[in-house]
Structure 1
């Protein structure tokens, strides 16, 4: 199942993701960010957080590694333009390995409808 999700920051599309990882019982999905803007990376994320009063959870400038707290203007939309709503959207990663987006606390039944493959994979673990 290779759905592609659009990632928008302050209304500007910054990339896409497939939200390939999950913690189904917690209503969490995450995925690698495929950036569509040239300057996306550690400096871009840090500057954005500074100028928008976004709390940074971890910051290691020497490794260009950063992890944000919730960014309210970070929106993820599916192919039908439906916003994937959770209780928090965050970015983490480093320039050398790439960045990941995480959506926390997506409610059911929407989670199960949007990510049936993640729910199925979780349920298969107990068979």
Structure 2
């Protein structure tokens, strides 16, 4: 399998095929296949914003997906946008991508894997 685009700086977030924002997915938990980061909304985010503000438990109806710069959908168990901007008084919105298979996670987020492994050396 060719590299999926390691060291990408930007990932695109879709809801029902519409671009709703972007993230660098700068943080992660490698053993769990989880990555997360600040979410930067596009203008179309307003279509789903209310749901992201009020429903943090099940956003499956939004059909969220995340793609690499190369346009590849990241396979995962789930994606969520946690919007706390109303209560935090700022643009505090986080994107979470859960359950990414290990091989793909290692290719997309080698820095997360290296950071985790560093704990044991």
On whether the aligned pair clears a TM of 0.5, the verdict is yes
The alignment status of 1:123 with 2:117, answered yes or no, reads: yes
Partner of 2:37: 31
Q: CA deviation at 1:99?
A: 1.0
Aligned length: 110
Distance 2:18 2:104 in 1: 25
Q: Which has the higher contact order (CA 8 A, sep 6+)?
A: 2
Q: Flag the structure with higher strand content.
A: 1
The residue aligned with 1:63 is: none
CA contact (8 A) 1:68 1:91 kept: no
Instruction: Please name the residue that 2:106 is paired with.
Output: 112
TM-score by length of 2: 0.79
Asked whether the 8 Å contact 1:33–1:100 carries over to 2, the reply is: yes
In structure 2, what is the Cα distance between the partners aligned to 1:29 and 1:118?
A: 8
Structure 1, gaps ≥5 residues long: 50-57, 60-65
The Cα of 1:73 is off from its aligned counterpart by 1.1
TM-score (norm: length of structure 1) = 0.75
Work out whether 1:67 is the aligned partner of 2:56.
Answer: yes
The 1:67/1:18 distance shift into structure 2, 3 A limit, reads: same
Alignment match, 1:77: 67
Runs of 4+ in 1 over 6 A off after TM superposition: none
**Structure with more of its chain in helix, by fraction:** 2
**Residue deviations 1:31-86 (CA, integer Å, cap 9, x gap):** 11101116639x8232xx7xxxxxxxx94xxxxxx524243610100111011111
Q: CA RMSD in A?
A: 2.4
Contact 1:4/1:17, CA 8 A, preserved across alignment = yes
2:40 & 2:107 partners in 1: Cα distance?
24
